[in-house]
Structure 1
Amino acid sequence: MIKQTLTALFLIAGLASGINAMDNSDNTKSKTAIVIHGGAGTILKSKMTPEIEQAYIEALTHALKTGHQILQEGGSSTEAVKATIVTMEDSPLFNAGKGAVFTHEGKNELDASIMVSSDRSAGAVAGVSHIKNPILLADKVRTDSKHVLMAREGAEEFAKEQGFEMVDPKYFFTQNRWDQLQKILKESPDKMQLSEDEAKNSKFGTVGAVALDMNGVITAGTSTGGMTNKRYGRIGDSPIIGAGTYANQYCGISATGHGEYFIRAAVAYDICALVEYKGESIQEAADIVIQEKLKAMGGDGGVIGLDKDGNIMMSFNTPGMYRGSIDVDGNISIEIYQEQ
């Protein structure tokens, strides 16, 4: 009788253990999150037509759902971030991939970077002109090379060795971006790039994504076409680990803005350092860097990110930033303007 009782107790304990395991599994499954941006700058509702506004909302929604589905199906945050950014690189709405702006010479030079929290591995490319989706090449640098950052012809040589399809530079041509360049060249043909005032009144169309997967791994990625009319091989913060992109076990960050300032302030790293060393919440840390430190330097832009618990962060000091998120409870949010 005692033996039977003990057996029954073990069975009950085993069943309870199984239930707890399933509960934990469910909790783990629900603990996925993703946040994205499509650029910050002078984005005003008064200057936005309903059609264009809807186009951005649909593009951001599609990007979010693409990454979130991967996370919910048990995929890695890295795969989610890459797939999400690819959708934005393929859209002419954003200054990345297909919608990249033109340099002074009338070329498209693309930058991207990605970083993974679990081992702090990172990869980046800068100044490529024949890569349809630079974020994919950045990740290939991370996984299949000993380097972190490759640029221009060297990066494209590596891409060919890795089996990447080279696209004709004409693929990146959009009339809107071309007209932006012609306007600047007509007004100031010898100008190196955007002036400080023009930068403050422009839209930084960089795209980025940060995701947390079921295994607690955070991945951050960023992709851009840079600044209109840039010269001399100018590279901004997007491919710079610690400036435009960063991820560790505490948080992940993707930035958008006037890159020179983000590089000087090491914006992405600084936010994560405040979280790690000072115990600030990710939102508090981002606001300290973006609303105080960066502003004091004269820098404009914003960041998105999340922490190890999936808390979503968005912070920007411009009139608007294309942004969206799906939190750990599955709530989706899409916003464009400062007042939202």
Structure 2
Amino acid sequence: MTKLLKTLTLTALLAASFSALATKPERPYGLVIHGGAGTILKKNMTPEAEKAYREKLDEALAAGYKVLEQGGNSIDAVKASIVIMEDSPLFNAGKGAVFTHEGVNELDASIMYSEDLSAGAIAGVSHIKNPILLADKVRTDSVHVMMSREGAEEFAKEQGFELVDTKYFFTQRRWDQLEKVLKHTPEKPELSEDEAKNSKFGTVGAVALDKDGNIAAATSTGGMTNKRYGRIGDSPVIGAGTYADKNCGVSATGHGEYFIRAAVTYDICARVKYKRQGIQESADEVIHDKLVEMGGDGGVIGLDAGANIMASFNTEGMYHGWKTSNGQQAIKIYKGE
């Protein structure tokens, strides 16, 4: 009888253990994206344009979140979101990239993964439809972190990428912007103060935390309108435009020269790690204090290991949105929204 009771007790304990495992709460996961910051004012936005931006942000968010929801990793999630934005003429990345002084498109992108701190970046490419995919190929299939221009495109061909004709990137809107910038002089201004400021930046980015607790951050851009001399901004620079470790992931958008010198994305994650403070507070210290003191404009998005979302910008607006397994979801554009 005693032996029977012991067997029944052990069976009950095992059943309880399996039941506890089965009902163990899932690790939180989430995704946050951005489509660039700048002087984005509701009074200057038509209802049709605002609707188009919100719908495309929602589409990009849904694509990346679906990957996470189905158990996929954070790297695939950020790529899924960014490809949607790179394929849209609305954003300064991929199809919607701005023109350089010479009237060509030079694209930059970077990606980083917290699990092993692997990173990949490409800069100044002109024939890659989705730069973020090539940046990830650099991360996984090369011994390097960053490649540029013709060398990056040679690597792309070796990896089976199809190079597209430069005509693919032409949009009338971006061409008209370049022509206005080229004609602009202090004596005969073609650009308003806001237009002049906005010509200096434009980016897309995404940060994801998956069910395994791994964070990925990624950023893609067409750079600065009228840029010259092979200029490269912060977007492909690990620690400036993109950073991810086990504590934090961040993607930036703004005036790249300032973001590089301020090591913005790394600084935010370092504050989370070493000061043990929240990601929003860490970002606000960098974006609203450090960067403002330097004279830099822009913003960041990110999340931490607990799927706590962060968005911080010192401009009038930033196209951004997020969705988490905790039930948080939003698409936002304007300051104070």
Question: TM-score category by the smaller chain?
Answer: over 0.9
Pairs within 5 Å for 1:72-111 = 72-111=69-108
Helix, strand or coil at the partner of 2:123: strand
After superposition, the Cα gap between the structure-2 partners of 1:256 and 1:195, relative to the gap in structure 1 and judged at 3 Å, is farther
The partner residue of 2:307 within 306, 310, 314 is 310
Q: Displacement of 1:20 after TM fit?
A: 1.6
On the 8 A contact 2:199/2:224 being kept in 1, the answer is no
Where does residue 10 of structure 1 map in the other structure? 10
- Give the 3-state SS of the residue equivalent to 2:173 in structure 1: helix
Partner Cα distance (2:92, 2:112) in 1: 21
2:176 to 166, 176, 179: 179
Q: Per-residue displacement from partner, 1:151-200 (whole Å, max 9, x unpaired)?
A: 000000000000001100100000000000011112249xxxx9998653
Cα RMSD after superposing both structures:
1.6
- Structure 1: which amino acid aligns with 2:127? H
Give every structure 1 segment of 4 or more consecutive aligned residues whose post-TM-superposition deviation is greater than 4 Å.
194-199
Pairwise CA distance, 1:212: 0.2
Deviation of the 1:204 alpha carbon? 3.0
Instruction: Identify the residue that residue 22 of structure 1 maps to in structure 2.
Output: 22
- 1:301 corresponds to which residue? 298
In 2, the alpha carbon distance for the partners of 1:195 and 1:144 equals: 45
* 1:23, distance to aligned residue in structure 2 (A): 2.2
- Name the residue aligned to 2:317: 320
Q: Using a 3 Å threshold, how does the CA distance of structure 1 residues 201 and 132 change in structure 2: closer, same or farther?
A: closer
Deviations 1:109-142 (A, max 9, x none): 0000000001100000000000000000000000
Work out the CA distance in 1 between the residues paired with 2:292 and 2:192: 17
Change (3 A) 1:329 1:102: same
For residues 72 and 6 of structure 1, the distance between their equivalents in structure 2, rounded to whole angstroms, comes to: 42
Which of 119, 126, 144 is the matching residue for 2:123? Answer: 126
**CA 196–244 in structure 1, closer or farther in 2 if over 3 Å, else same:** farther
Q: Give me the whole-angstrom Cα distance separating, in 2, the residues matched to 1:187 and 1:203.
A: 14
The aligned counterpart of 1:55 is 52
SS of equivalent residue, structure 1 residue 46: helix
Q: 1:259 to 1:199 in 2, by over 3 A?
A: farther
The structure-2 alpha-carbon separation of the partners of 1:270 and 1:93, relative to structure 1 and needing over 3 Å to count, comes to same
What SS class does the counterpart of residue 132 from structure 1 fall into?
coil
Residues 224 and 10 (structure 1 numbering): CA distance in 2 closer, same or farther, change over 3 Å? same
Of 214, 219, 223, 1:217 maps to 214
Trace 1:157-306 onto structure 2 (pairs within 5 A): 157-188=154-185, 200-202=197-199, 204-306=201-303
Query: What SS does the corresponding residue of 1:51 show, helix, strand or coil?
Result: helix
Q: Percent identity?
A: 70
Please, what TM-score do these two structures have when normalized by structure 1? 0.95
Q: Which residue of structure 2 aligns with residue 138 of structure 1?
A: 135
Calculate the TM-score normalised by the size of structure 2.
Answer: 0.96
Structure 1: gaps of 5 or more residues? none
Farther-moved stretch of structure 1 (4-13 vs 171-180): 4-13
Q: 2: CA distance between counterparts of 1:120 and 1:337?
A: 33
- Classify 1:187/1:203 alpha carbon distance in 2 versus 1 (closer, same or farther; 3 Å): closer
Counterpart secondary structure, 1:27: coil
* Contact preservation (8 Å) 2:33, 2:322: yes
Following TM superposition, by how much is the alpha carbon of 1:80 offset from its aligned partner in structure 2, in angstroms? Answer: 0.4
Across the two proteins, how many residue pairs are aligned to each other?
333
TM-aligned CA deviation for residue 339 of structure 1: 1.5
Q: Could you say if the C-alpha distance between residues 60 and 23 of structure 1 is closer, same or farther in structure 2, counting changes exceeding 3 Å?
A: same
User: Does the 8 A contact of 1:271 with 1:282 survive in 2?
Assistant: yes
Cα distance in 1, alignment partners of residues 115 and 324 from structure 2: 21
Equivalent residue letter for 1:225: G
SS across alignment from 1:164: coil
Letter of the 1:240 partner, please give it. V
Secondary structure, in 3 states, of the residue corresponding to 1:102? Answer: coil
**Cα offset, 1:203, TM superposition:** 7.3
Distance in structure 2 (CA, Å) of the matches to 1:62 and 1:91: 11
Give the conservation status (yes or no) of the 8 Å contact 1:199–1:258. Answer: no
